[in-house]
Amino acid sequence: MYQPLADKIRPKTLDDVVGQRHLLGENGLLRRVIESGSIPNLIFYGPSGVGKTTVAYIIAQQTDRKLYHLNATTAGIADIKAIIDELDTFLAPNGALVYLDEIQYFNKKQQQSLLEFIEDGRITLIASTTENPYFCVFNAILSRSTVFEFKPVNARDVEGAVLRAVDIMNARRGTPLTLADGVVRHISASCGGDVRKAMNSVELLFSAAGEGGVITLEDAKAITQRS
pLDDT tens sequence across 141-193: 999 999 999 999 999 999 999 999 999 888 888 788 888 899 999 999 998 88
Contact 153, 19 (CB under 8 A): yes
> Between residues 201 and 227, which one has the greater pLDDT?
201
Q: What is the pLDDT of residues 48-77, one digit of tens each?
A: 989 999 999 999 998 888 889 999 989 888
- Residue 208 confidence (pLDDT): 82
- Comparing CA positions, the residue from 191, 202, 182, 185 lying closest to residue 153 is 191
DSSP string, 87-135: TTSTT-TT-EEEEEETGGGS-HHHHHHHHHHHHTTSEEEEEEESS-HHH
| pLDDT for 91 beyond 70 | no
| pLDDT for 225 beyond 70 | no
- Residue 56 confidence (pLDDT): 94
| pLDDT for 90 beyond 60 | no
Q: Which amino acid is at 30?
A: L
| pLDDT for 227 beyond 90 | no
Average pLDDT over residues 18-27: 89
* Residue-averaged pLDDT of the chain: 86
* Most distant CA atoms of the chain, gap in Å: 59
